[in-house]
Structure 1
């Protein structure tokens, strides 16, 4: 998972903005990944981490879901991970010699979810408060943001069910999209791809004891 505070996010955003490009030494390797797995990373970052300066290779894809090709249902597909590490060694050896430590840690990240989180976090809190007040007479209890996702809580389970049937949820989705769009630099949000959730306070109190830490755990 990529976080908006990380160097990988900021480096990749500069590529998306056209202010920098993928390091040319990674170009052939990125093409190989495309040929083998169907997606080309928009950014590749190689560095070393503790302990023992272990090599770390970050493959950053643009859209949510693209990195799923490297999962096998229980986590990373280790065979694909090893194939990528082995191929990277070949490309790197052609350019800059062998590795001091051949044990490469390969990770897969996606830019779109991190950028969606950044957009959601940019909405001023006063606009969120005003949005909540606007729908409060229709039993909207809370608007809670966590990364890219926003959860809209109604007071009761019955109100939650009614809000879906009477079109209120569709209206809330449409209006919340308007709040997001001024910050949506890369057009990652639309009504069909809007990371919102509808819930209710009764469930929040019963299942999570009214505790936000438990809710987001």
Structure 2
């Protein structure tokens, strides 16, 4: 789950909205993860890497970015191997019991309904990060233009939103220094946040932690060849 267009994100969003539920067989695992690691699991998704049956994988979709952080190894910045193994083991126990209880083994084999836990790769994503991107990028361009018009500042060149953030571009580096952390900058923070809340369906953006980034057209032209692709690369 990386983009707002991913089917995994869309299915998890429906769970968050209360439109659908996590798969019945994964509910016990989600509850176990929440209790053991003090997190909130929204969804659990099982598939095979490159559709190869010998490479099963399990996506644990947590709600918050801070929850995902609990499964990272601070030394290597990779997933915590111990926790991956713990969840893989628990997944094998729970799904094995579910399959024995609910489906005859011959039906499982024919329809491919068994969950393979051997060599299972467990990885973690969070819903909040993608939802914040969706909220920010849902703001129509015309509303950005209207905001710039209301601000009515001749020293402001452009307002550009990307991913989960926004950058206000002044014309020069000198103007950038003038506005950085100024009272005007604080006003811009508030104005953009107010606009953003109209599209933040789940309220993930918090005013005290929201920050409008400032940059300059001079920097954009001189160091990024006036190219948005280079700027955000």
Check whether TM > 0.5.
yes
- Secondary structure of the 1:94 match is helix
Q: Give the aligned partner of residue 109 of structure 2.
A: none
Q: Judging changes above 3 Å, is the alpha-carbon distance between structure 1 residues 80 and 191 closer, same or farther for their aligned structure 2 residues? A: same
Equivalent-residue separation in structure 2 for 1:36 and 1:147 (angstroms): 32
Q: Which residues of 2 match residues 27-106 of structure 1 at below 5 A? A: 27-53=27-53, 54-73=55-74, 74-96=77-99, 99-100=115-116, 102-106=118-122
Post-superposition CA distance 1:119-165 (Å, at most 9, x none): 11221111112223334524222222222121222122332232234
Q: Normalization by structure 2: what TM-score? A: 0.83
Please, which runs of 5 or more residues in structure 1 have no aligned partner? Answer: none
Q: Judging changes above 3 Å, is the alpha-carbon distance between structure 1 residues 100 and 34 closer, same or farther for their aligned structure 2 residues? A: closer
Q: Judging changes above 3 Å, is the alpha-carbon distance between structure 1 residues 71 and 176 closer, same or farther for their aligned structure 2 residues? A: same
Superposition misfits of 4+ residues, deviation over 4 angstroms: 97-101
Q: Which residues of 2 match residues 56-205 of structure 1 at below 5 A? A: 56-73=57-74, 74-96=77-99, 99-100=115-116, 102-135=118-151, 137-194=153-210, 196-205=212-221
Q: For the Cα contact (< 8 Å) 1:142–1:152, is it kept in 2?
A: yes
The offset of 1:90, in angstroms, is 1.8
Give the RMSD, CA atoms, in angstroms.
2.2
Equivalent-residue separation in structure 2 for 1:213 and 1:16 (angstroms): 33
Choose 166-175 or 18-27, whichever is displaced more: 18-27
Q: For the Cα contact (< 8 Å) 1:57–1:106, is it kept in 2?
A: yes
Post-superposition CA distance 1:174-212 (Å, at most 9, x none): 111222122222122231232642222233334433332
Q: Give the aligned partner of residue 110 of structure 2.
A: none
Q: Judging changes above 3 Å, is the alpha-carbon distance between structure 1 residues 77 and 100 closer, same or farther for their aligned structure 2 residues? A: closer
Q: For the Cα contact (< 8 Å) 1:2–1:111, is it kept in 2?
A: no
Equivalent-residue separation in structure 1 for 2:217 and 2:25 (angstroms): 53
Q: For the Cα contact (< 8 Å) 1:46–1:56, is it kept in 2?
A: yes
Equivalent-residue separation in structure 2 for 1:79 and 1:214 (angstroms): 39
- Secondary structure of the 2:41 match is coil
Q: Give the aligned partner of residue 25 of structure 2.
A: 25
Post-superposition CA distance 1:1-55 (Å, at most 9, x none): 5311011111111111111122232222112212332213111111223152322
Post-superposition CA distance 1:80-134 (Å, at most 9, x none): 2222222211221222267557222222111112111111122111111222333
Please, which runs of 5 or more residues in structure 2 have no aligned partner? Answer: 101-113
